[in-house]
Each structure stands twice: as C-alpha cells, then as structure tokens.
Amino acid sequence: MVFTHDTEEALQATVALVNAAEPPVTLTTVAELDAFFVRHGYTGRHDSTRAELDEVLALQAPLRELLTADRDAAARLVNKMLADAGAVPQLVRHPPLDWHIHAVPSDAPLATRILVETAMAMIDVIRDDELSRLAVCADSDCEGIVLDLSRNRSRRYCSTTCSNRNAQAAHRARRTQPRSHRSR
C-alpha cells in the first residue's frame, strides 16, 4: 500500500467521480449516484435526490483542478477547501471500519463530505510528495485521470478500455514494422 487504506479509498472514489465526466459520461442519474455511493463505501447522509447529484457533479471541475495541480498549488487548494468547509478532524469508529478520520459530520451533505475527504486524502499525497501518483491518461484522446497505486508505478491509462486500445494500436504498429527489434 502506498497510502493508508482510507486515503487510497478516497482517492479512488474521487478519480472515479472526476472521470465520470469523460466519455462515455456516467453518473447522470440518481440511481447511478446510489451505485457510486455503495461501490465506494460511503456512509452517512445520502439524500438520493437530483439536487444532491447536481452538488456532487459540481465537484468534478474543482476536484480535477486539485488532482492535476502541482504540489504547491495543491497545498493551497486543500487548505482553502478545508477552511471553507469548516473541517474539524475527528477520530470516529463505525462499522466496518476501525478508528479513522472524518473532518465533517456524517450528516453534512454528501458533496461536502466528498470534497473534504478528498482534501484530507491529498494531505497525505502532498506530505509524502507523491503527486506523481496522479496523472492524465497516456491515451492521446483521453483526459481521464490515472491514479497509480502500483508498487512499480506502471499504470499509464485511466481504464482498461484505454489500455486495451493502446495495446492493440501498439500491436498493429509492430505488425506493420516486422523488422524492428523491440525489447517487448
């Protein structure tokens, strides 16, 4: 593990939220938000309304800005997000997790909690100087965000769709250049 468990889960959820804006666009219905809530292990308040969905979708642009910022800019954004939300870190314990940190109450709006959880997770990323774990997809037509939590930092594409498409393109390129000697 590169970061603590809750930091990695928060980063994965945030990247999924930001990437939902990329084609094919997802997270367009309350039902899809319900599935997102369950898939990423959220607890606490969940209104399941269009208004809540709109608030969550409004996070995509500022979260994308945070995830792609350089280290100093990211630190400033995190500080502002935490201050604006009146975040107060508290140790909490609720099933299925042991003691971990919440910085806003569990009855705060879902969008507020996603924003604050992301900011708290980015504290670890910034403090550990690991912003290179976050990048834009290596596919030339894709703006998706890649979160690389692998030990050998091997992840270059945001999705299996992108990695498969590029693997096929590389394969075709090799077949049209049979004489080139490539190491792999």
CB of 166 to Zn ion, least distance (A): 9
Q: Which is nearer to Zn ion, 118 or 144 (CB)?
A: 144
DSSP letters for 114-169: HHHHHHHHHHHHHHTT-GGGEEE-SSTT--PEEE---TT-----SSHHHHHHHHHH
CB of 76 to Zn ion, least distance (A): 26
18 belongs to the binding site for Zn ion (CB under 5 A) = no
131 vs 151: CA distance, rounded Å:
15
Q: Which is nearer to Zn ion, 2 or 165 (CB)?
A: 165
Q: Which is nearer to Zn ion, 44 or 62 (CB)?
A: 44
Considering only residues 54 to 93 of the shown chain, the ones binding Zn ion according to CB under 5 A are: none
CB of 19 to Zn ion, least distance (A): 8
CB of 115 to Zn ion, least distance (A): 15
Q: Taking each helix axis from N to C terminus, what angle separates 71-84 and 110-127, rounded to the nearest 10 degrees? A: 140
Q: Which is nearer to Zn ion, 59 or 146 (CB)?
A: 146
CB of 109 to Zn ion, least distance (A): 16
Number of helical (H) and strand (E) elements in the chain, helices listed first: 7, 4
Tell me the per-residue interface mask from 132 to 161 with Zn ion, x by CB under 5 A, - otherwise. -----x-x--x-x-------------x---
Backbone angles phi, psi at 102, to 5 degrees: -115, 140
Q: Are 20 and 58 in contact (CB under 8 A)?
A: no
Q: Which is nearer to Zn ion, 33 or 145 (CB)?
A: 145
**Out of 11, 119, 121, 162, the residue judged to bind Zn ion by CB under 5 A:** 162
Cβ-based burial of 43 (10 A; exposed 0-12, middle 13-18, buried ≥19) = middle
C-alpha distance across the termini of the chain, in Å = 28
Give the interface with Zn ion as residue ranges (CB under 5 A): 137, 139, 142, 144, 158, 162
